[in-house]
Each structure stands twice: as C-alpha cells, then as structure tokens.
Structure 1
Amino acid sequence: MQCEKCGFEQEAGKFCGKCGEPLDASHTEQTNETNTVEQSTASIEEVSSTVEQTPNTGQNDTLEKVKETATAYGTYFLHYLKQPSLVFSKGKTEFKNGIINNVLLVILLSLTIYFIGKDMFYYFSYSESVFLPVFGKSLIFLVALLAIIMGLIFITIKFFGKEHHFKEIVGIYGVHMIPVNIVIVVTLILSLLSAYGSSVFLLSLTMTLITVIMPLHIVSKQLTKDTAKVDPLYGYLLYLVFFGVVVFIFSTILIDTGFGEIIRVFGLF
C-alpha cells in the first residue's frame, strides 16, 4: 500500500505509518495492477522484438550446407570430367563425392529404365500405377549391383596388388561414373522423346561401362601402379571371372524374387 500524500509504502494498515494520512486500499491495488500490466506488456513487447530480430538460424544453416555441398560437387564434377585419372592419387578424399555421384547414377538409371520400359515391356501394362514398383525395384537392383562391382574391384586389388581402403575404391569408382552420368542423362532425354532404339543402345552401353569397362580400367591402373602380385592382364581376367560368377548368382536370386522383368530390361539373360 502506498500513501497518496507522501508516497510511503507499507504492507497493510488504514493510515500511513509516516504522515498518518488515511490510506485508500482500492486505489493502491488499482495502481499496483496497472503497474503489473504495464510491466507484463513491456516484457511481451521485448520478447516479441527479440523473436523478430533473431533469424531462423537452423533453416539458414541447412540451406548454407546444401549450397556448399552443391558448389563442392559442381567443382568436383568439372575437375574430374577433365582429368579423371587424377583421382588415383587421392581416391579416399573423394569418398563423399563418390557416394553422391553413385546415388545420382542409380536414380537417373532407374528413371531411364522406367521410361524405356513402360511402352516396350509387357510388365508395365499390368497397371497404370507402376512407377513406384518399377522405380523402386530398379533402384534396389542397381544399388546392389554397384556394391557388388566395387566389392569385386576391392577384392581383386587387395589380393593381387597393394592393399587399399574400400573408401578409396568408392571414390575412384565414383569419379569414373562422371562420364557415365552424362551418357545416362542423354539416354533419359531420348527415352522421354520416345527414341527407343537410341535409348536402348545407350542403356546397354551404360551398363557395359558400369559393369565391365570402367572396373577393368580401375583394376588395370591400380595393378600397374602398385607392385602387383599378378600381371595386370590376369587382373582383368580374374575380375571378369569374379564378376561373371557373382552376377550369375545374384541375378538368379533376383529372378526367384520377382526381379526378372528388371533384369530383362538390362538384357542380361
């Protein structure tokens, strides 16, 4: 309670303890309530101002990371497009970009398979809503196939050449998929234009590059560069033997699990 005359404050009483003036309890309570409301309003305005002035740092950080990754990948793509052989000296450092390049490859290739096959294969005429099943099966097939190929390259080099880390093989293989990604983009465009003859030819070329030509080049290059336990020629042949056996087993399993249509698109059997 506050005295209106002298301003003295006290907790209770009917008269001011300093000057003796009668105290108006209702006026004092109203004054206190007004002060409390004013203080609350000031606090709310201060918090609102702080919220408005504080940027959404989480969202900005995410966008910045995406931009940085995209910029780094663009630099990586152009750099190794000009000189892909440079990756043999620093393959392990390109593991992240190698993963990105391989992911782009399987996505683009899965889309290409769908657009080539939707008007050419009986499987696609079962239902109108076949995009997700076909795209998903193709994606799983290609991820498994690329994992097998990189594993075979790693095993061949490990046993018949100098031992390398698997991340290095992923980085090297990813760089060698840069020109393949360009080919598959052209193939996808042709498939969208219904140029099925050209797109099927380029799809076959792409699969040959992915499974045979690029892996053999990597194996040969590594066995030639390192002190190899076996001549690079036999490294070629050993990779082909390993690849043939593993892919045959892999394809047989896939056929038994309903992937036969996808394998027919690749023309493996």
Structure 2
Amino acid sequence: MLVCQQCNHEQQSGKFCGQCGGALAEQSRTETAKTNSETSEAEAAVATETTVAPVQQKNSFQTYVTFIVNLLKNPTRALKLNENQFGYGLITMAIYAFAYALANYFLANKMVKEMFGPLTPSLPFFDLTVPLFFFIILFTVGAFISTFAATKLMNNSSSIKNILAQFGGLLVPFMLINVAMILFGIVGMAKFTIGMTNLSLLFSVYFLPVLLAFHKGTELKGEQKVYFSLGAAALSMLISYIIIRLAILDFLDKFDHVYSWF
C-alpha cells in the first residue's frame, strides 16, 4: 500500500499522490491500521474535549440549584457547610448584590417614566447598577469581615473558606428575596420593593454576623460568645457607616449633579 507523505492519501500504484501530488511511500497494512487508529483516537479526544466542558457547566449549575433549594428548605444546614462550598458562597453574594441593584434600577426607571411620561429616556443602566452592585458587595464583605474577626477573637480555628461558605449559605433566603424583588421593581411596586430589599440588606449585614458568630462561639462553648456576637454586629455597622460616608454620599451627590435634568 502506497501512502502520501503529505495528505496520507492511500493508493495502489504510482510515484506521486493523485490528490496533492506529494511523494508516495510504501506502508504495510499494519502500519496503515495503526495510523487510522491514532487518527480516530485523536478525533475522538477532540470531540470529547468539546463536549465535556458544556456537560461540566450543566452539572455545576444543577449542583448549585440543588444547593439553593436545600438551604431554602432548611437554612440551618448552612451552619454545617465546609470549605468545599465556599465557591457557592461567593456566587450567592454576587447574585445577592446584583439582584439588589437590578430591582432598584428597574423600580427607579419605572418611577421616572410614570412621572415624566413613557417617552422619557431610560435611566443610565451601567451608571446606576454597577455602583449599586459595588456598594452592596462592600456591605456584605464588611459583614463577613466582622464575622471573621469575632470568630478569631473567640479562638475558633475555622478557616476563611469555611466561614465564607456558611455566611453565603445563610445569605441564600435573602438572595432569593432580592431576585423576587426584580419583578416587583419592573411593575413599579415602590413601597414593597424598597421595603423588602432594604429589609434583606438589614438582616444580611447586621443580623447574620450575630447569628454566625454566636454559632462559632457555641462550637467552642465560649463564655463570652454573646458579647463577641454583638461586637460583630457593631463592627459591621461601623464599616457600613464608613462606606456610606466615603462612597455612597459622594456618588449620590455626583449622580444628582450630572442627571439633574431627570
């Protein structure tokens, strides 16, 4: 069997390839079969690589949904999460903040159109949602830092990943509240949307640190876990105050100046 050295075309006779004109070389049937087998394996490997990624992404999404459903049914399970779920904690914090930003943006946009008419230009999406998302992330990070500080002051050896996983798990019900408020913001239910999103923020930033810090103190049977838990809430309040003074008030002032024509 003659095989082209350039395109691997096979033919029975001749000195040059009938397909590309390249030089032919003698090759046994065994070698030909081996070459075909290697080619098939390479093609199969490429096909596998292109299908594994979507399957893994689908499985990861399904696992996260199951994670959310289980914690929604019983939030107490969040206190048993370990370092392996810290990634879900990060995702939950991100969705929580983004849903809060979207709910309030859609509500503000709806209210502007009701006040000035449906032909009024929409509020700038990124100019509003990105800073709001960033501020809520800062609030939740402040709450997490407060919890972590109280945990370490009680000499609890829990790692950052462990505390983050449990904090994110406790945040799940409030994340779902913010997601639901997106719909109420779209239809313009102002009092309900503002009330629920701010209530969600209040519980997430001030009450969750108390709850999780108290749980960490209970694990070690700490004698002062009540004070340390309240200290976590106080520290979270202090961080929130700093964020408001240094970032949010300045943003609101700039936004009011630039978009005063609304």
Pairwise TM-score range, normalised by the shorter structure:
0.7 to 0.9
Q: 2:17: which partner in 1?
A: 36
Structure 2: stretches of 5+ with no match in the other structure: 1-12, 25-35, 256-262
Asked if the contact 1:161/1:229 (under 8 Å) is kept, the reply is no
Q: 1:66: which partner in 2?
A: 57
Matches within 5 A, 1:209-224: 209-224=203-218
The answer to whether residue 183 in structure 2 is matched with residue 192 in structure 1 is no
* Selected match of 2:146 from 145, 152, 155: 152
Asked if the contact 1:219/1:235 (under 8 Å) is kept, the reply is yes
Seen in structure 2, the aligned counterparts of structure 1 residues 218 and 40 have a Cα distance that, compared at 3 Å, is farther
Asked if the contact 1:162/1:228 (under 8 Å) is kept, the reply is no
Q: 1:266: which partner in 2?
A: none
Q: 1:252: which partner in 2?
A: 245
Asked if the contact 1:160/1:229 (under 8 Å) is kept, the reply is no
Seen in structure 2, the aligned counterparts of structure 1 residues 51 and 159 have a Cα distance that, compared at 3 Å, is closer
The answer to whether residue 219 in structure 2 is matched with residue 225 in structure 1 is yes
RMSD: 3.2
| 1:137 counterpart letter in structure 2 | P
Cα distance in 2 for partners of 1:90, 1:199 equals 31
> Which TM-score applies when normalising by structure 1?
0.71
Asked if the contact 1:254/1:260 (under 8 Å) is kept, the reply is no
Identity %: 14
Seen in structure 2, the aligned counterparts of structure 1 residues 56 and 138 have a Cα distance that, compared at 3 Å, is farther
| Residues 205-214 or 166-175, more deviating | 205-214
* Higher RCO (CA < 8 A, seq sep 6+): 2
Q: 1:135: which partner in 2?
A: 129
Asked if the contact 1:162/1:227 (under 8 Å) is kept, the reply is no
Cα distance in 2 for partners of 1:260, 1:61 equals 50
Cα distance in 2 for partners of 1:179, 1:86 equals 12
State the SS of the aligned residue for 2:251: coil
C-alpha deviation, 1:69, in angstroms = 0.6
> Which TM-score applies when normalising by structure 2?
0.73
Cα distance in 2 for partners of 1:261, 1:156 equals 36
Matches within 5 A, 1:54-203: 54=44, 56-120=47-111, 128=122, 130-203=124-197
* Selected match of 2:231 from 232, 238, 242: 238
C-alpha deviation, 1:154, in angstroms = 0.3
Q: 2:5: which partner in 1?
A: none
Asked if the contact 2:171/2:204 (under 8 Å) is kept, the reply is yes
Tell me the alpha carbon deviations over residues 224-257 of structure 1, each in whole angstroms, 9 at most, x when there is no partner. Answer: 232325142x123212321222211121110464
| Count of residues in correspondence between the two structures | 224
Cα distance in 2 for partners of 1:255, 1:193 equals 26
Please tell me whether Structure 1 or Structure 2 has the larger radius of gyration of its CA atoms: 1
Structure 1: stretches of 5+ with no match in the other structure: 1-30, 263-269
Asked if the contact 1:150/1:173 (under 8 Å) is kept, the reply is yes
C-alpha deviation, 1:120, in angstroms = 4.5
C-alpha deviation, 1:128, in angstroms = 3.9
C-alpha deviation, 1:82, in angstroms = 2.2
C-alpha deviation, 1:186, in angstroms = 2.1
Tell me the alpha carbon deviations over residues 15-64 of structure 1, each in whole angstroms, 9 at most, x when there is no partner. Answer: xxxxxxxxxxxxxxxx967x42247599xxx8xx9699655444322211
* Selected match of 1:208 from 198, 202, 209: 202
